[in-house]
Amino acid sequence: MAGKKRRQNSSKPRKQAVSRSTRAELQFPVSRVEHYLREGGYAHRLGSSTPVFLAGVLKYLRANILDLAGKEAQGKRKKCIAPQHLETAMENNQHLRPLFQDGPKSLLDETSQPKKK
């Protein structure tokens, strides 16, 4: 059985490829997450389910942050979420504050400033 060859002209049409993001029902691109994990050199070896799991974690964090920012915007009677609402939501949440201690504040400060002409 080890020497069996595959038929070249099979009568069945080839199935269309399905991405890992679609299989896992995720919006985050699993392939891109895997690329960043490999480029970052965080480990010598990387399991096949690691980027899928990390993409799921990122989806959960995104949903949580946007939910908190939406509640913050509603509290201020606004219809759109502004960068200030995101910042306030992350600062007020005891679980998110340690995660984003240094990162988003500088990024949000740059985006909230009006563009120079």
Domain that holds residue 26: 21-112
As a whole number of angstroms, the distance between CA 68 and CA 88 comes to 9
pTM of the predicted structure, to 2 decimals: 0.70
Q: Per the structure block, which two tokens stand in for 64?
A: 């949580």
Q: Domain containing 60 — which CATH number?
A: 1.10.20.10
User: Residue 11 domain-assigned?
Assistant: no
Q: Tell me whether residue 78 is in a domain.
A: yes
Structural domain includes residue 50 = yes
* Within a domain: 104: yes
Residue 117 is assigned to a structural domain of this protein: no
Q: pLDDT by residue for the chain (117 residues), tens digit each? A: 566 666 566 678 888 989 988 888 888 899 999 999 999 988 889 999 999 999 999 999 999 999 999 999 999 999 999 999 999 999 999 998 888 887 655 555 555 566 666
Q: Are 28 and 1 in contact (CB under 8 A)?
A: no
Q: How many domains does the chain have?
A: 1
